[in-house]
Structure 1
Amino acid sequence: MKILFLTTDFPPHGGGVASLSLEQAVRLAQLGNEVRVETVDFGPLPSICQTTDNLTVHQNHIKAGPVKRLLPLWRIVRDSSKHFEPDVYYASTHRGFGLPMAVHARTAGKPYSIYFHGTEILTELTSLPRRKLLAWIIRHANVLFSNSYNTRKLLQDFFPYRLPHVEVVYPGIDHSRFDDPGAKSRGKTLREKLLSEADLPADTVVLLSVSRLSRQKGIDVTLKALAQLQQYGGPLPHWLYVVAGSGPDENEFRTMTQQLGLAGRVIFTGAIPYLETAPLYYAADIYVQPSQPHGMFLESFGISFVEAQYCGLPCIATRFGGIPESVKDGETGILVPPGDINELVQALGTLIRDRERRSSMASRAREHARAFSWDTHTRKLEQTLTDYCIPPRAGMQK
């Protein structure tokens, strides 16, 4: 199958959608499909993009806003189609390429499909013209994908008219990356380094967040909760909070750390490449990401929760969007209402103090996370594309 893979989120751009796009493109090619990626990001690509057979990645330089870039994106789809002659058009996110792809695919009489993440659906509901355009794009797609049942329900609730089949395909993780003994060894070394820098003992409880540094991910709420816990929560074991990532609110969070009196207890690592995060998880004891509504943001699943659980970390998160599908409340972690600092303080205090509960949750977390893999994800993606987009050969059953 020849797949024209269209995305505005691809490495070196960071974030969960870019990571998913990379995994999908690489693994679809490894399954024997011919994959041509068109993206708008620039910079060095991961080496796996150069070493994977059947995969080519084309980076296009576009400096324009969301509306003005539609015509250049359509031209990219048109020109790429002439050279590549795809069997199917596929967008790993609706943003950017969704409309240009749908228009060209309809004109060419070719099938197309989109993977939805949740937030982009809410964004398109902000104006009637955008909602109508998305409804048209959805109505004419051959099949749609969603990253959770929560996202599928959004599609069903807002676009019930002539909605095509929506296949839920959970994001996965690369088990081999986390099973690598080297990752565990580097995690141990990293832990020792972090504790040494903070002048804390070996039995310190290390909390971790790996995310884009924005209010949507609840970093601000976590800092406030830790300050309350430190001040009013009674005796506590030593703890350290490691914040990995970069983003628009990083400076605000650094300032907040100083103002709350948490200097020396919070370490900001800066941006960590997607393929190099495994040691971070193995350096920690608890994963914390109390995502919350902010603007049009929706945490529709959360790959980092699965990665953390696979590495044996119980999670502290929120009952928001698709998070309850990735974290099992009371079994592999503790879920609290979004923005509820008092509940978050209690959850943090419970897991920081209770080593046995952390250990019990850790074993269940590892077992739960094993069900999520990129291999399973991509095979389901490929099979669904084949079933809904590729006509059966003469004399063969579909």
Structure 2
Amino acid sequence: MKILILNYEYPPLGGGAGICTKYEAGGLATLGHQVTVVTTWFKGEKEIEKKKNLTIVRLKSIRKFTFKSNPMEMISYSNHAKKFLSKYLSQNKFDVCLANFTIPGGNVALFLKEKFNLPYILISHGHDIPWFLPKQMFKFHLVTYFYVKKICKNASSLVLLTKEMKTNADKFLGKNKKTVVIENGADLNYFYPNYKIKSKIFKIIFVGRQRAQKDPITFLKAIKIFKEKNPSLHFIVHILGDGPLRKKMESYVKKNNLKEIKFLGWLSKEKMLKEYQSANIQIMPSIAEAMSIATLESLSSGLYIISTKVSGNTDVIVEGVNGNYVPFKDPSAIANALKDFYENKFKKNYTVPKKIMQKLKNKYSWKMITQKYNKLIIKNENL
């Protein structure tokens, strides 16, 4: 089949959604499909890249940063994609479109359906459907409410990443047979434990975009409390990633003399593996998630996670076995959980059971996820 994939973010742009598109596109191409991805160009990247059954087209729409975007950039991508694809689809026929995000991917897919009768499968990544993150996304959801509903209802299928996301979508659209859960995956054969390089000094990591959704300020407050309560305990903290809150975080660290903390920015896949393998614990105080790829990678690397009960994590973290849950926006609870882990697991050289990590790999490998998408595509073709 000839498959068109729309996503305004594709590595090196964006976070989890771009990574998902990369592996899904590559996996479907490996299965023999002819796959074309239409995404956004960024400095240093090729405008057109071809790899056997896979073609990446990068459009020169507006994009300033790799790690964040804004509505104007989404509109720019949408306009460029409509213009490019109007001509491209006049010369190239596709069987189905996989559109990421209701806006801008679904917006473009709806346009193509109306103009070329191209069916599309819509993939939601959380915040694009009301009322995910209601505080931060309220205005956006209010303005786009009816248009997003139209985009969803015109899709052949609507893919959600978790059961919590499906519940939210069902409230928005009403229960229907179109909605289906297909989880995020991760390169779980690449991420594995290496206890030989595990840090002897208590090492804590934070991974992800530094924005309000991830609540990194609560993380820093927790580290401050942990340090104050345990003045003789030697530990280090690595913060991996970047984002709009970084300057505020650096200011907080400097003001509170948290010399244990280092900001490492975005790292290569190879360096991320070493960080996961050498760390003792990861803190994830997110207010909301779709489904965190970083969680899958770190758990597969044998890391223990202290997390809030966000979508996706509740399916993979087993309390007391490979992680613990803490309340939202509660730095004291995180500090207490850190001390408990230090005393009862770190000092006793605790390791996560192999069967837990194997179960994770069996369900969330990209091979398994790609097969689910392949079945959905074939099912939609036969409707």
TM-score (norm 1): 0.84
Q: Secondary structure at the match of 1:281?
A: helix
Query: What is the CA distance between 1:115 and its match in structure 2?
Result: 0.9
Residues of 2 paired with 1:14 and 1:276: CA distance? 18
RMSD (Å) for aligned C-alpha atoms: 2.6
Output the amino acid matched with 1:208.
I
Q: Secondary structure at the match of 2:205?
A: strand
- Unaligned ranges ≥5, structure 1: 192-201, 293-297, 393-398
Q: Deviations over 1:131-166 (max 9, x none)?
A: 1111111111111111111111111011117x4522
Query: What is the CA distance between 1:110 and its match in structure 2?
Result: 2.2
Query: What is the CA distance between 1:67 and its match in structure 2?
Result: 4.2
Match of 2:184 among 148, 168, 171: 171
Output the amino acid matched with 1:59.
R
Q: Deviations over 1:297-350 (max 9, x none)?
A: x31221111111111111011012332123233332011111011211111111
1:96 is aligned to 104
2:267 is aligned to 272
Residues of 2 paired with 1:221 and 1:348: CA distance? 14
1:60 is aligned to 59
Output the amino acid matched with 2:81.
L
1:120 is aligned to 128
Match of 1:316 among 295, 302, 306: 306
Q: Deviations over 1:341-373 (max 9, x none)?
A: 121111111112222677254646523422310
Q: Secondary structure at the match of 1:4?
A: strand
Q: In the superposition, relative to structure 1, how do residues 105 and 14 fare at CA in structure 2: closer, same or farther (>3 Å)?
A: same
Percent identical pairs in the alignment equals 22
Query: What is the CA distance between 1:184 and its match in structure 2?
Result: 4.8
Q: In the superposition, relative to structure 1, how do residues 114 and 127 fare at CA in structure 2: closer, same or farther (>3 Å)?
A: closer
Query: What is the CA distance between 1:223 and its match in structure 2?
Result: 1.4
Match of 1:130 among 144, 148, 155: 144
Residues of 2 paired with 1:92 and 1:68: CA distance? 16
Residues of 1 paired with 2:221 and 2:138: CA distance? 33
Residues of 2 paired with 1:139 and 1:378: CA distance? 24
Q: Deviations over 1:221-269 (max 9, x none)?
A: 1111111111124763x21111111111112111211222211x11111
How many residues get paired?
A: 365
TM-score (norm 2): 0.87
Output the amino acid matched with 1:132.
F
Query: What is the CA distance between 1:90 and its match in structure 2?
Result: 1.0
Within a 5 Å distance, the mapping from 1:232-381 to structure 2 comes to 232-233=229-230, 236=233, 238-263=234-259, 265-274=260-269, 276-292=271-287, 298-355=288-345, 359-361=350-352, 363=354, 365-370=356-361, 371-381=363-373
1:196 is aligned to none
Q: Deviations over 1:95-146 (max 9, x none)?
A: 3121121122133222111111111113487455511111111111111111
Output the amino acid matched with 2:15.
G
Residues of 1 paired with 2:127 and 2:378: CA distance? 27
Query: What is the CA distance between 1:87 and its match in structure 2?
Result: 0.4
Q: Which moved more, 1:359-368 or 1:10-19?
A: 359-368
Q: In the superposition, relative to structure 1, how do residues 184 and 332 fare at CA in structure 2: closer, same or farther (>3 Å)?
A: closer
Residues of 2 paired with 1:383 and 1:74: CA distance? 28
User: Are positions 1:35 and 2:59 aligned together?
Assistant: no
Q: Deviations over 1:140-197 (max 9, x none)?
A: 1111111111111111011117x45222111111133225xxx959x93xx7xxxxxx
1:198 is aligned to none
- Unaligned ranges ≥5, structure 2: 63-71, 131-136
User: Are positions 1:228 and 2:225 aligned together?
Assistant: yes
1:78 is aligned to 86
Q: Deviations over 1:188-217 (max 9, x none)?
A: 3xx7xxxxxxxxxx6211111221122322
Q: Which moved more, 1:359-368 or 1:328-337?
A: 359-368
Residues of 1 paired with 2:359 and 2:254: CA distance? 37
Output the amino acid matched with 2:377.
L
Q: In the superposition, relative to structure 1, how do residues 346 and 364 fare at CA in structure 2: closer, same or farther (>3 Å)?
A: farther
Q: Secondary structure at the match of 1:119?
A: coil
Runs of 4+ aligned structure 1 residues displaced above 6 Å come to none
